[in-house]
Amino acid sequence: EAKAAGRNALRFFNQQMQTAAMARIRLETDMRQSIAAQHFLLHYQPQVDQHGQLIGAEALVRWQHPQHGLIPPGEFIPVAESTDLILPLGRWILQAACRQLVAWSSDPALAELPLAVNVSARQLHHPGFVADVLAILAETGANPKRLELELTESHLAADIEEMIRRMLQLQSHGVRFSLDDFGTGYSSLGYLKRLPLSRLKIDRCFVRDLLSDANDAAIVRTIVALGQSLDLQVIAEGVETVEQRDALLQSGCSLYQGYLFAKPGPAADLQGWVAGARRAGNR
Ligand code: C2E
Ligand code: MG
Ligand code: MG
Ligand code: MG
């Protein structure tokens, strides 16, 4: 009887796996078609300093699915990363971000705005990456000094020397780099010193319980101190409350991104947010 139950469980498991595999294949096929049809779009989230002044924005991709509506990146970026789909999708994302930079360059309030774009490890480690980024900058006419690429500690798992070479090549054109989700991975401090980074982003998991969890508060202070000693800016992600922002400021972190300031939204929302912030400042 136990054996029969085991067999049934096994059959069920296989069925589930098959369904999951099929769902994944469908997702992949869908994504491939959507890349061709350009069914993706970028949302933008402002980044501010301690006075609430806009200091930059992060581009975040969404999938405008013809049947399923707006799909967040957590549901398709991992699949894109496990196939080569992240390469054409990543190029599209960089193109769209650079076009937006050019569009903003005629708006006095946004002309100098740096824009951060997330880059997957698989993209960066692809041999054509540097050439692709430079070609996109040239084609769109975007200012490389306003482009910031966000890497994660997962990038550090592969060939570090090659990665540093690529970063330096792009840096020589003015492109900057930040390390996203910092503290969740396994960067060795030795590597951190060698990477041409300009910024660390404190992962939002340390910000969430900052006020109640002494360990998180200690981690935040450590990242801030690390940033100071390596001469890197430090920005906190996922800032949702005034109390969190105040605690961050007390810990020495004066740059923020989070729902407290604005959720990610279409480019027009960011323009509206800037206009609103300017009106508030003039009052
Ligand atoms: P990330 O790069 O760490 O982006 C920050 C995420 O935190 C975004 O989620 C943003 O909407 C969310 N967030 C911002 N402020 C708050 C807050 O106050 N509270 C909470 N709870 N969340 C906040 P999103 O847009 O769903 O993106 C998730 C992840 O997907 C990103 O994390 C990034 O790893 C990846 N991703 C997004 N866009 C791209 C892209 O264009 N290319 C690549 N390769 N990955 C991307
Ligand atoms: Mg990011
Ligand atoms: Mg992050
Ligand atoms: Mg993340």
CB atoms within 10 A of CB 175: 21
Task: State both tokens at 125.
Answer: 């480690």
The DSSP output letter for 224 is H
Confidence (pLDDT) at 280: 77
Q: Single out the residue of 273, 271, 243, 238 nearest to residue 257, CA to CA.
A: 238
Whether residue 238 has its Cβ less than 6 Å from ligand 1: yes
Confidence (pLDDT) at 2: 57
Confidence (pLDDT) at 245: 98
H helices of 51-158, in order, are 77-82, 86-104, 121-124, 129-140
Confidence (pLDDT) at 279: 79
Q: Single out the residue of 124, 150, 131 nearest to residue 45, CA to CA.
A: 150
Q: Determine phi and psi for 68, rounding to 5 degrees.
A: -100, 0
Return the bridge partners of 265, or none: 44
- pLDDT block averages, 10 residues each, the chain of length 283: 63 71 86 92 98 96 93 94 94 98 95 96 94 98 98 83 95 97 80 92 96 95 95 98 98 98 96 84 63
Give 172 Cα–ligand 3 centroid separation in angstroms. 25
Confidence (pLDDT) at 218: 95
Confidence (pLDDT) at 282: 62
Nearest residue (by CA) to ligand 1, atom 42, is 118
Confidence (pLDDT) at 139: 98
The whole-chain average pLDDT of the chain stands at: 92
C-alpha distances (whole Å) from 212 to each of 201, 238, 248 are: 21, 16, 13
Give 36 Cα–ligand 3 centroid separation in angstroms. 28
Confidence (pLDDT) at 191: 82
H helices of the chain, in order, are 2-37, 77-82, 86-104, 121-124, 129-140, 160-171, 189-194, 204-208, 214-230, 242-250, 267-282
Confidence (pLDDT) at 13: 62
Confidence (pLDDT) at 181: 92
Whether residue 73 has its Cβ less than 6 Å from ligand 1: yes
Whether residue 93 has its Cβ less than 6 Å from ligand 1: yes
C-alpha distances (whole Å) from 242 to each of 52, 89, 216 are: 12, 36, 17
Distance CA 281, CA 275 (A): 10
Whether residue 259 has its Cβ less than 6 Å from ligand 1: yes
Whether residue 78 has its Cβ less than 6 Å from ligand 1: no
Whether residue 74 has its Cβ less than 6 Å from ligand 1: yes
Task: State both tokens at 69.
Answer: 């509506």
Confidence (pLDDT) at 91: 97
* Alpha-carbon dihedral angle through residues 183, 184, 185, 187, given to the nearest 10 degrees: 0
Nearest residue (by CA) to ligand 1, atom 2, is 118
The closest-lying atom of ligand 1 relative to the alpha carbon of residue 73 is 30
Whether residue 72 has its Cβ less than 6 Å from ligand 1: yes
Whether residue 180 has its Cβ less than 6 Å from ligand 1: yes
Nearest residue (by CA) to ligand 1, atom 38, is 60
Confidence (pLDDT) at 4: 65
